[in-house]
Amino acid sequence: MFNKIILVGNLTRDIELKYAQGGSAIANTAIATSRKFTVNGEKKEETCFVDITFFGRSGEVANQYLRKGSKILVEGRLKFDQWVDQTSGQKRSKHSVIVETMQMLDSRGEASQGGYSDDNGSNSYEGGYDAPAQKAYTPPPSYSKPSPAKMPENNLPEIDINEDEIPF
């Protein structure tokens, strides 16, 4: 079976970060996605609100760099939750997304107001986060490439082996 979903939208609320007994982070929020279309010449917009959950280090990163209104792309799997409402006793259900990877889409200017942006101006995160990506090392202008080392001449003795004697 295949269960994959990709959503692009804005967070509808700040992230709520909790920690499980084992110490791993669980971050919950929601994303709003919209679709614009025309029906009989009339422009309409449809908005879909979806709860999303981050686990582990990605939850901590999301909590650190994302706020209500942050634009984000999430990739993950759809989860179906069911429960009984405490007040009415009725069965309730909803779909939510378990985030596997995310990409922060806010522009560099918006990122400095609470989002994350690496030195290259791109906003992204795909698990295993340790620190923002560093610029590639550029040597100082006085640096010059060393000339390639001269390869030694082949001074190995020549061995005469019959191919029938090789065991493989």
Domain that holds residue 88: 5-111
SS3 per-residue string spanning 88-125: CCCEEEEEEEEEEEEEECCCHHHHCCCCCCCCCCCCCE
Summarised one tens digit per residue, pLDDT across range 42-64 is 999 999 999 999 999 999 999 99
| Structural domain includes residue 48 | yes
Q: Which of 61, 66, 65, 59 minimizes the C-alpha distance to 19?
A: 59
| Structural domain includes residue 143 | no
| Structural domain includes residue 66 | yes
| Structural domain includes residue 82 | yes
| The predicted structure's pLDDT at residue 155 | 63
**What is the total count of domains within the chain?**
1
pTM: 0.61
| Structural domain includes residue 67 | yes
Question: The domain spanning residue 70 has which CATH number?
Answer: 2.40.50.140
| The predicted structure's pLDDT at residue 146 | 59
| Structural domain includes residue 49 | yes
| Structural domain includes residue 95 | yes
Helices (H), the chain: 57-65, 108-111
| Structural domain includes residue 119 | no
Summarised one tens digit per residue, pLDDT across range 15-26 is 999 999 989 999
